[in-house]
């Protein structure tokens, strides 16, 4: 997760006053995506298994993100 500006290749979702920008191709692979605020940051859950690719299985802070 990171701050970004929308591009033509993104879908934009406005939920509870927050704007979420997701790359359309990533969204196809990662559905469903769930973002929760937890104390000191955000937790991101999605349909991609990052543990088998050497990545993380879930991120618990806004400064750490998973890459596809």
pLDDT in tens, 10-62: 999 998 898 999 999 999 998 888 888 777 777 878 888 767 655 444 444 44
Residue 68 has pLDDT above 60, yes or no: no
For residue 10, the model assigns a pLDDT of 96
For residue 18, the model assigns a pLDDT of 87
Q: How many CB atoms lie within 10 A of CB 63?
A: 10
Higher pLDDT, 29 or 1: 29
Task: Report the candidate in 22, 63, 20, 66 with the shortest Cα–Cα distance to residue 44.
Answer: 66
Task: Report the candidate in 52, 8, 50 with the shortest Cα–Cα distance to residue 29.
Answer: 50
For the whole prediction, is pTM greater than 0.85?
A: no
């Amino acid at each position: 997760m990171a701050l970004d500006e929308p591009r033509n290749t993104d879908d934009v979702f406005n939920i509870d006053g927050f704007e979420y920008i997701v790359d359309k191709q990533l969204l196809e692979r990662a559905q469903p995506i769930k973002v929760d605020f937890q104390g000191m940051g955000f937790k991101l859950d999605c349909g991609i298994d990052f543990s088998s690719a050497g990545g993380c299985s879930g991120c618990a802070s806004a400064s750490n993100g998973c890459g596809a």
